[in-house]
Structure 1
Amino acid sequence: MLRERVILGRQLQGIERKIRSKKGGPDAQRHLVDLEKKALAAQKIRQNRSQDRPRLIFPEQLPITAKQSEIIQAIRENQVVIISGETGCGKSTQIPKMCLAADRGLDGKIGCTQPRRIAAITISQRIAEELGQELGQSVGYKIRFRDKTNPQAYIKIMTDGMLLAETQADPKLYEYDTLIIDEAHERSLNVDFLLGIIKTLLKSRPELKLIITSATLDTEKFSEAFAKAPVIKVGGRLFPVEVEYWPLDPEKEEAGELTYIDLAVKAVERLQNRPDRGDILIFMPTEQDILETCERLEGRQYPGTFILPLYARLPASQQGRVYQVKGRKIVVATNVAETSLTIPGIKYVIDTGLARISQYLPRTRTTSLPISPISQSSANQRKGRCGRVQNGVCIRLYAEEDYLARPLFTMPEILRSNLAEVILRMIFLGLGAVAKFPFIDPPSPKSVKDGYDLLLELGAIAWTGQEHILTDQGRAMARMPLDPRISRMMLAAQKEGCVPETAVIAAALSIQDPRERPLEKAAQADQVHAPFRDPQSDFITLLNVWNHYHHTWLRLKTQNKMRRFCKDYFLSFNRMREWIYIHEQIMHILKEQHLDAGQRKTREITPALYAGVHRSILSGFLNNIALKKEKNLFQATKGREVTIFPGSGLFNKNADWIVAAEMVQTSRLFARTVAKIESVWLEELGAGLCKSSYTAPHWEKKRGEVRALEQVTLFGLVIVAGRSVSYGRIDPVESQRIFVQAALVEGQVNETLPFLKYNQELLAQVEKMEEKVRRRHLRADDATLAEFYRQRLAGILDLRSLKKLIKDRGVDEFLRMQEQDL
């Protein structure tokens, strides 16, 4: 295998060096014999692997089988091959076998990545079945917390995150002689990271082969990125698919009378009346939508029909039911079924045209997960789920004009991601500088700088003078797949003991404000929202909204009633659901990291809890503090002036210091979602970012030391003014000068020092002599006296250290002057 070959090669080089230097002797010869035995054993293993390869069969009904010879030949002749084929053409299951047919998998495994766990499991099971073997023999899979791969396996299917994690222990990926990056068109961060890493590996590992597969025709970028690698295009659908548009009535949707769930359920009902019934696949954007749709469909009790949910977090046993049930089925899925899985027997696809797509908000420097319209390519992927075994029908619950107006492809995740999060992960994985990394779509230098700046502000990284390194805090943040501001808040909340409250607020900051205020009903909305409003903190206002919503949910317990509740209280039902979803994600991540998530119960906001919550918020939004200038006008960081947004609970209220979740530029710069804070919190939270300046250094007789007035600024704002501090550690040279002059030359001390009393008496005698002989300038000047002490008191800056020095020496003779000194 490759790893053994590398080890043998290094050992051989070591023996050759010894022989050349004539230091080897008989030992070198013995080592050479041992090495030869190991090499022959490795060769035998390779021969056995070649002979023991499982028998390969390629199903004729799959479109990719028609390209079998062309693909095998391309893999043999090229280091990189790109294969474009519609979903369902057989790429995921057949390409690993074609690699085996091309004599790959003999020197190392054939590794194949999938974007989701469910795909890694089902694809490995399918390949094993086609090879006539048990899973875990020639084919295995590896997902988080589970590895079902035999060391002697030929094919290993894994999530892209697992392969990325393996680069830590095996940077050259010697376990593999071939890598397949499947579903590369999704352009997730993991995929882009892996493609960049493998691109750098190809030069040092000429024997490594890379196959990139895409379910869309957007393959030119991949080809260009890999030196114009050949592209093989594979046909997909076997039967025609008719597209029907059944758009949602926007007025009814706005009024809360009809939702995409209602429309999907109605579509199923209409399909029931068609003579040519078949299996149905419904695409929904969220897990909650899936569960509600399944519940409503089950209530209709269609005879002989299975209603099956399908989403990434569903247990594997339940996910597998889509392949196992015998009879008609209606599958309700997220976009996990868009490309990762091919569900057999689907005749009808019902597409809401929606999905959760992560979005970075530069204004707030946070990441949200809104429900957004999908791209044309994603819509076409969904359409392609039917038409495999018979003519298909795709029903789109949106207008054709809407479809045509959508972008052709989904934007790569790196271009809609917080680069602070990307950089944090890259440093954690040891991938080097962002600017030098071979991304297919490189981010802009401005975005990269902003990412580094934010991580420095959050205390996640430190600059050594040569490179950025992770702090202990940064390592903990990197292990949490959250926006860095949110992970920083949650770490602070752990320390402050306020995780439940901070998690709710953190989730709220990742969505648009759920409160609505239509112009024609502004007064009514304000009146309804008034009980939620906290006079000191808009963050607590959001917490009050959350608590009221959840107490009501426990009482009403149905979506329709909650929709009515939201309408009555001028809350966006969709945003409330998004808020709940993100909150669940945060809590799930905390549990994964074995962090205490606290108890989910409503607590009274005491002064101590208020302080803890807002210190946690500050830890993530320290750059958004501001100091009052006049009424609602505040001096913000970096020279900005901001006005509290009129809709804030703090508008026209008394607050000297505030923190804001966002600064929004419209007619002027507004601070939105703000809270009153205490300036005393800022110095500790901004420790490494604070800058101190010192004025008026002076001797303090009472304290017996030199002190100065300190001013502390954070992002240009004065957070501490005129604080008296010891000056010795700040400027030792100036402190000693002031100490010697004031305490020893001028004698400004509160206690008797024998040597000083002696010197003063001697000085008095010299002054008397001056008067007696009527001559001036016999006595040494102050500068000479000061120099006498300085020469003998190196590093001594105050009375305490002076007395310790005398005690350590046992005498003070070294400080007593003689007549010639004066």
Structure 2
Amino acid sequence: MPAAVENLKKQISQCLLKDRHRLSRQLQNLSRQVQQDRPLDPAVLADVEQRIHRSAAAVQARRESLPVPEYPAELPISARLEEIRELIAKHQVIVLCGETGSGKSTQLPKICLDVGQGIYGRIAHTQPRRIAARSLASRISSELERELGTAVGYKVRFHDRVSESTHIKLLTDGMLLAEIQQDRFLNEYDTIILDEAHERSLNIDFLLGYLKQLLKKRRDLKLIVTSATINPQKFSRHFSDAPVIEVSGRTWLVEVRYAPPEEDEDSGERGDATQQAILNAVDELSKEDRGDILVFLSGEREIRETAESLHRHRLQVTEVLPLYARLSPADQGRIFKPSGQRRIVLATNVAETSLTVPGIRHVIDTGFARISRYSHRSKIQRLPVDPRIARMLLEAAHTHALREMLVIAAALSVQDPRDRPMDKRQQADEAHALFVNEESDFLGFLELWKFVEEKRRHLTQRKFRRLCREYFLS
């Protein structure tokens, strides 16, 4: 019996990382019984042995199913493959400084697979936004010629496409923070890629501090911090002078043109003027060539309005592709699948900071963005109140209409809760007709609020969620 326990201890190193701690504790308990001359329960020993063999078999299966990566020659990071492989193999932490378009987000996890990571544990690849996590997972799985959810998966709020065979797991910074509550040593992973660290959100800063302490306890954990070319040495110093490697982006000759929108002095409608300016810019670019266009907008509401304007403009052989967080993964993935038509992609700044949209020849930037600010009152980071909406609330307080105006102001300050999927627009419009108020669109928000509040009070959570899906509400 004592020999059997010692033999099993030697096999622990062949098990999955997430199983090793529990198995080691069980074997320590058995060794303690041997030292105290207490008889061992054969059933307990057999159970531990079975768990070790099962975990080792899972490792072997993961090793055999490991994808063989190939690297696009046109990406700048492909020219530094050997250097990056060597740094990952030799150091626990490295800082990779790469410009937009260098290929760091799509190729780094594949390089980690090349050096033997992702077998005993998963490779966690964090992104600041859900849309980036889903899109990158789809892109990497496509490059590895594997179905999404097998070798490459993702986990974001409300969606989990990770299986036992997953080697690379895309997830948001916030999701990794949430996992720490259940697994404070992050034993699920043998590698963590903290992508877009230069954004320095509260989530990223917390992870940077937590991982620095964790690395001292987990010498088997690799950490790769990626950053744009903004003070990468700060990240290096934070992790005890970790090596820094720089990868340049692809450079193109860029012509910049300025065309400020002409505001209507009578109506003062900035939105209409911006829409017309976008249409004018599209027409101007269409006269030069039929290259794909990327339009930067500040949020989902603006994207929907611009999509409607472009559809009414009746552009020939042109596909309009919105890109925002609430879109389904299938609709988001359309930007990576050329259709043979000229494409106009309408996106927030996620297309600037978190993923690269392929094939873009022209960019139209409206110049507006939603800025995240820290709220001293709520003690959290939050976005849009727009000064005009704030003024509406102040006036409503004096005219005894604050209760109604709060609902309207809330609706105007967030993305439209009325969802209109690209393939079910007519059905959605018919469902939303229940909330139409002939006197005012604003009063329509009040009708919607009353409907939702009444149903929420009387229905279970499951039935309420189903009702929201039936009425295309999010």
TM-score by length of 2: 0.76
Q: Is the 8 A contact 1:261 1:289 kept in 2?
A: no
Task: Please state how far the C-alpha of 1:354 moved relative to its aligned partner.
Answer: 2.1
Q: 1:512 aligns with which of 361, 365, 387?
A: 387
Aligned partner of 2:88 in structure 1 is 75
Q: 1:211 aligns with which of 224, 241, 255?
A: 224
Q: Counterpart of 1:355 in 2: which secondary structure?
A: coil
Aligned partner of 2:298 in structure 1 is 285
Task: Please state how far the C-alpha of 1:515 moved relative to its aligned partner.
Answer: 7.4
Instruction: Give, in whole Å, the separation in 2 of the partners of 1:579 and 1:176.
Output: 41
Provide closer, same or farther for how the CA distance between residues 92 and 541 of structure 1 changes in structure 2, counting only shifts above 3 A: same
- Does 2:42 correspond to 1:18? no
Task: Please state how far the C-alpha of 1:198 moved relative to its aligned partner.
Answer: 2.0
Instruction: Give, in whole Å, the separation in 1 of the partners of 2:449 and 2:334.
Output: 42
- Does 2:86 correspond to 1:62? no
Larger Rg belongs to: 1
Give the structure, 1 or 2, with the largest relative contact order (CA under 8 Å, sep 6 or more): 2
Q: What do residues 677-712 of structure 1 show as CA deviations (whole Å, max 9, x unaligned)?
A: xxxxxxxxxxxxxxxxxxxxxxxxxxxxxxxxxxxx
AA paired with 1:354? F
Task: Please state how far the C-alpha of 1:152 moved relative to its aligned partner.
Answer: 2.4
Q: Is the 8 A contact 1:19 1:28 kept in 2?
A: no
Aligned partner of 1:734 in structure 2 is none
- Does 2:351 correspond to 1:332? no
Q: Is the 8 A contact 2:93 2:222 kept in 1?
A: yes
Instruction: Give, in whole Å, the separation in 2 of the partners of 1:147 and 1:73.
Output: 33
Instruction: Give, in whole Å, the separation in 1 of the partners of 2:313 and 2:21.
Output: 63
Provide closer, same or farther for how the CA distance between residues 330 and 600 of structure 1 changes in structure 2, counting only shifts above 3 A: same
Provide closer, same or farther for how the CA distance between residues 286 and 41 of structure 1 changes in structure 2, counting only shifts above 3 A: closer
Provide closer, same or farther for how the CA distance between residues 210 and 174 of structure 1 changes in structure 2, counting only shifts above 3 A: same
Greater CA drift, 240-249 or 337-346: 240-249
Task: Please state how far the C-alpha of 1:34 moved relative to its aligned partner.
Answer: 6.2
Instruction: Give, in whole Å, the separation in 1 of the partners of 2:374 and 2:142.
Output: 42
Alignment of 1:127-526 (within 5 A): 127-248=140-261, 255-256=268-269, 259-274=273-288, 276-324=289-337, 325-362=339-376, 365=377, 420-421=379-380, 510-512=385-387, 514=389
Q: Counterpart of 1:259 in 2: which secondary structure?
A: helix
Q: Is the 8 A contact 2:118 2:191 kept in 1?
A: yes
- Does 2:20 correspond to 1:5? yes
Provide closer, same or farther for how the CA distance between residues 538 and 18 of structure 1 changes in structure 2, counting only shifts above 3 A: farther
Provide closer, same or farther for how the CA distance between residues 603 and 161 of structure 1 changes in structure 2, counting only shifts above 3 A: closer
Residues paired across the two proteins, number? 405
Task: Please state how far the C-alpha of 1:243 moved relative to its aligned partner.
Answer: 2.8
Task: Please state how far the C-alpha of 1:101 moved relative to its aligned partner.
Answer: 0.8
Q: 1:99 aligns with which of 71, 95, 112?
A: 112
Alignment of 1:745-760 (within 5 A): none
Instruction: Give, in whole Å, the separation in 1 of the partners of 2:395 and 2:312.
Output: 40
AA paired with 1:352? T
Instruction: Give, in whole Å, the separation in 1 of the partners of 2:415 and 2:54.
Output: 55
Task: Please state how far the C-alpha of 1:603 moved relative to its aligned partner.
Answer: 11
TM-score by length of 1: 0.45
AA paired with 1:282? V
Instruction: Give, in whole Å, the separation in 2 of the partners of 1:148 and 1:283.
Output: 29
Instruction: Give, in whole Å, the separation in 1 of the partners of 2:292 and 2:216.
Output: 48
Instruction: Give, in whole Å, the separation in 2 of the partners of 1:540 and 1:35.
Output: 70
Alignment of 1:530-545 (within 5 A): 537-538=397-398, 540-543=400-403
Task: Please state how far the C-alpha of 1:255 moved relative to its aligned partner.
Answer: 4.7
Q: Is the 8 A contact 1:215 1:339 kept in 2?
A: no
Provide closer, same or farther for how the CA distance between residues 207 and 345 of structure 1 changes in structure 2, counting only shifts above 3 A: same
AA paired with 1:100? L
Aligned partner of 2:413 in structure 1 is 581
Instruction: Give, in whole Å, the separation in 2 of the partners of 1:241 and 1:583.
Output: 33
Task: Please state how far the C-alpha of 1:542 moved relative to its aligned partner.
Answer: 4.4
Provide closer, same or farther for how the CA distance between residues 600 and 250 of structure 1 changes in structure 2, counting only shifts above 3 A: closer
Which runs of 5 or more structure 1 residues have no equivalent in the other structure?
367-419, 423-481, 484-506, 517-528, 551-575, 586-598, 605-822
Provide closer, same or farther for how the CA distance between residues 538 and 212 of structure 1 changes in structure 2, counting only shifts above 3 A: farther
Instruction: Give, in whole Å, the separation in 1 of the partners of 2:187 and 2:90.
Output: 21
Instruction: Give, in whole Å, the separation in 1 of the partners of 2:194 and 2:266.
Output: 40
Alignment of 1:722-733 (within 5 A): none
Alignment of 1:629-668 (within 5 A): none
Instruction: Give, in whole Å, the separation in 2 of the partners of 1:231 and 1:51.
Output: 32
Q: Is the 8 A contact 1:86 1:234 kept in 2?
A: yes
Task: Please state how far the C-alpha of 1:18 moved relative to its aligned partner.
Answer: 2.2
Task: Please state how far the C-alpha of 1:261 moved relative to its aligned partner.
Answer: 3.1
Instruction: Give, in whole Å, the separation in 2 of the partners of 1:603 and 1:218.
Output: 47
Q: Is the 8 A contact 2:263 2:273 kept in 1?
A: no
Q: What do residues 712-734 of structure 1 show as CA deviations (whole Å, max 9, x unaligned)?
A: xxxxxxxxxxxxxxxxxxxxxxx
AA paired with 1:313? R
Task: Please state how far the C-alpha of 1:38 moved relative to its aligned partner.
Answer: 4.8
Task: Please state how far the C-alpha of 1:9 moved relative to its aligned partner.
Answer: 1.3
Q: 1:120 aligns with which of 133, 136, 144?
A: 133
Q: Counterpart of 1:197 in 2: which secondary structure?
A: helix
Provide closer, same or farther for how the CA distance between residues 166 and 17 of structure 1 changes in structure 2, counting only shifts above 3 A: same
Q: What do residues 174-213 of structure 1 show as CA deviations (whole Å, max 9, x unaligned)?
A: 1111111122222222222322322221111111111111
AA paired with 1:262? Q
Task: Please state how far the C-alpha of 1:116 moved relative to its aligned partner.
Answer: 2.2
CA RMSD of aligned residues (A): 3.3
Provide closer, same or farther for how the CA distance between residues 322 and 34 of structure 1 changes in structure 2, counting only shifts above 3 A: closer
Q: Counterpart of 2:277 in 1: which secondary structure?
A: helix
Q: Counterpart of 2:257 in 1: which secondary structure?
A: strand
Instruction: Give, in whole Å, the separation in 2 of the partners of 1:539 and 1:603.
Output: 21
Instruction: Give, in whole Å, the separation in 1 of the partners of 2:120 and 2:97.
Output: 27
Alignment of 1:567-716 (within 5 A): 580-582=412-414, 600-601=446-447
Task: Please state how far the C-alpha of 1:95 moved relative to its aligned partner.
Answer: 0.7
Provide closer, same or farther for how the CA distance between residues 62 and 538 of structure 1 changes in structure 2, counting only shifts above 3 A: same
AA paired with 1:349? V
Q: Is the 8 A contact 2:102 2:247 kept in 1?
A: yes
Provide closer, same or farther for how the CA distance between residues 515 and 229 of structure 1 changes in structure 2, counting only shifts above 3 A: closer
Q: Is the 8 A contact 2:196 2:226 kept in 1?
A: yes
How high is the sequence identity, in percent, across the aligned residues?
Answer: 44
Q: Counterpart of 1:320 in 2: which secondary structure?
A: helix
Q: What do residues 198-230 of structure 1 show as CA deviations (whole Å, max 9, x unaligned)?
A: 222111111111111123433222222212222
Q: Counterpart of 1:118 in 2: which secondary structure?
A: helix
Q: What do residues 141-181 of structure 1 show as CA deviations (whole Å, max 9, x unaligned)?
A: 22222222111221111222222222222221111111111
Task: Please state how far the C-alpha of 1:118 moved relative to its aligned partner.
Answer: 2.3
Greater CA drift, 255-264 or 48-57: 255-264
Which runs of 5 or more structure 2 residues have no equivalent in the other structure?
1-15, 418-444, 451-474
Q: Is the 8 A contact 2:261 2:276 kept in 1?
A: no
Task: Please state how far the C-alpha of 1:252 moved relative to its aligned partner.
Answer: 6.3
